[in-house]
Structures are given as structure tokens and as C-alpha cells.
Amino acid sequence: MLLLFPRGDRPDVTTLRATVTGTERIAVTNTLGEEDPALPQGIELLRDGMTYDLVGAAPGPGIALPTLEYRLGVSHEMADGAHEALALQPGPHLAPGARTMPVVRTMMGGAAMIVAHLPGLRAVAWPAAGTVIGPDFFVSSMTAWLAGGAFPALGLTAFSPVAGGGLRSEGLAFFTGQELQLATELAEDRAAGTRLGVRLVNQLVGQGQVTAAEAIIGPEGERLTLEPSPDARTVRVRRG
């Protein structure tokens, strides 16, 4: 995940340490990039036995911003080019399991605590879904999820129209290896289609990949069919 700051206002390592120090259940265990100023600089964090790297601190190089298409809790006029980023990512020993739910949940819990206190922070970005999330929206949605609420589908995934009709998720494949695509008749009302998509994302994140057609009952009592595409990269959803 990326933490976005106005260009020229990225915090330095001293500021990051001061922000994290005293934060519940997070400890600073190392300083990163000291040996080479050309490398991203930052700190190593320990939370619940897992280590994460917070890198991109000033005055070293920041983290390059990818294309971010979806805005949640931030102004649509917020220009990506006017911002620089830090990255919060699983440490090297966690890299093989970076997409597993325990690693993601622990990272999001730590991020929610840090985001609430970092001076100058404008937004959080989740590149896997191309989303930019306002700090307040991020903290509230992650806190609710970690307290037992629904998976934060609006933020860690997004939805975009499909040519010819329908809606397709962005970012679900990070967790399950598959994206979700709603048939045209389920997305004629974009808001209703998105609500259905959010419910299905919450279900699929817990369930995992769909490997064969299955019937479910939708939130309005309607019968729906979930079916993997021939290449198994998409879960197609239709009525009936």
C-alpha cells in the first residue's frame, strides 16, 4: 500500500519513528536504507510477530506512483502528479505470503494506527485495485473490518463498467486469483450492481476461488449463478 503526501512533504525517518513510537502493538525494529542514500529509506515495523517495511522517507527517493483510477473519500480533482509516496509492505520474510489474509489484516491494522497520526498525509492508495482512499475513510473501514465487520470491498477492490454492459471488479484477484464480473441485467442500476458486487466480494474473499458453477441466493432473494470463465480468471455472475 502507498501513503500519499504533497510533493516535497514526505516525512523523514525521524518523523516516522516519532509517529510510530508509542503506537499500540507496533514497534520500530530497524532503520532501512542507511547504507546507501540512493535506496528508499525508512523503518522496519513489528506488529503481532510480523515485520513490515515503511519506506520512501525523505530525503531519499520516494516510491513511484502507479495509475490510480478510483477515488474513495477524496476529491476527484486530487492530482496524482502533485503527490509523492511512501510504501508500507510486508518484510522480505513475509513476501511469499504477502497476499494471505493474516498478513494483509495485520498490515492494515498497523496502517490504520499510523495513518491517523502521520502529519501531512493526504490519502492512502491500494495499487492492486487502483484506489485512492481518504485517511478518515481508510481508518474507519479498516477498523470496522478488524473488529469483525465486512471485508472493505470498497477500497481494497473497486468496480468499473464493462463495455457492452455489466460491472467488473478490480483488485479481487489479489486475494483470490479471480475478478468478478456481473452480467448486464445485474448492473443496469449501477448503485445496486455495486452493492451486489460488494456482497459477493466479501463472500469470495472468505471462500476462495470458484472452480465450478454454483447457485446462490442474492440479497434480494433472487437466484444467482456464479461460474468461472474458461480461463478461470473471472467469476461471471448472472441471474438464474
Q: Which backbone phi and psi does 47 adopt, to 5 degrees? A: -140, 125
Per cent of the chain over pLDDT 90 is 85
Position 240 scores a pLDDT of 86
Position 77 scores a pLDDT of 64
Residues contacting residue 159 through CB under 8 Å, at least 6 positions apart: 167, 168, 169, 170, 193, 194, 197
Q: Which three cell numbers stand for residue 74?
A: 477524496
Position 31 scores a pLDDT of 94
Which H or E element spans position 223?
strand 223-228
Position 5 scores a pLDDT of 95
Residues contacting residue 87 through CB under 8 Å, at least 6 positions apart: 1, 2, 3, 40, 53, 54, 55, 56, 63
Contact yes or no for 171/157 (Cβ under 8 A): yes
Measured between alpha carbons, how far is 238 from 152 in angstroms, rounded to an integer?
23
Measured between alpha carbons, how far is 132 from 155 in angstroms, rounded to an integer?
8
Q: Which three cell numbers stand for residue 220?
A: 434480494
Mean pLDDT in each 10-residue stretch from start to end of the chain (240 residues)? 95 94 89 86 96 96 92 77 92 93 96 92 96 96 95 96 93 97 94 94 94 90 94 95
Position 80 scores a pLDDT of 62
Measured between alpha carbons, how far is 3 from 143 in angstroms, rounded to an integer?
17
